[in-house]
Amino acid sequence: MSKKTKHSITVKNRRYTYTLEPKRGGTTHIVCKSAKIDQDFLNEDVPALLADLPELIIAEQEHKKEKSAVVQFRLKPEEKKGLEKEAIKKGFSNVSAYLRALALGK
């Protein structure tokens, strides 16, 4: 079995890195933080994913631009810990997503 290999791709004159790590069972673990990818893919799907990677990176950049407004407030440390626990309990990946859903009634 091969080891993890690091590669890069250029999108809009900027270089983005990604890693490929072959796994057992005909899968490859792919990580590309710029496209928010960190998961296993069937080996047969890897070429298509790599072909789509520039568009996925651009889509993630545009998504980040859409969420540029900031809302801040202060909490006691124990309140923050409670929020973090509640966010995880409700299935959210982070406190921001949890608070956004609460505030927007989703």
The conformation of residue 23, written as its DSSP 8-state character, comes to E
The pLDDT-based confidence of 1 (bands split at 50, 70, 90) is low
Residue 11's domain comprises: 5-66
For residues 32 and 73, membership in a common domain is answered with: no
Contact indicator for 28, 22 with CB cutoff of 8 Å? yes
Token pair in block for residue 91: 């299935």
The amino acid present at 105, given as its one-letter code, is G
Do 19 and 62 lie in a common domain? yes
- The pLDDT tens digits for 5-40 are 999 999 999 999 999 999 999 999 999 999 999 999
- What pLDDT score was predicted for residue 66? 77
pTM of the model: 0.61
Distance CA 87, CA 93 (A): 7
Write down the pLDDT at residue 50.
96
Same domain, 24 and 58: yes
Q: At a CB cut-off of 8 Å and minimum separation 6, what does 103 contact?
A: 71
Number of Cα atoms under 13 Å in the Cβ half of residue 64: 10
Residue 54: pLDDT band by 50, 70, 90 thresholds? very high
Q: Are residues 76 and 105 in the same domain?
A: yes
Residue 69 pLDDT level (bands cut at 50, 70, 90): confident
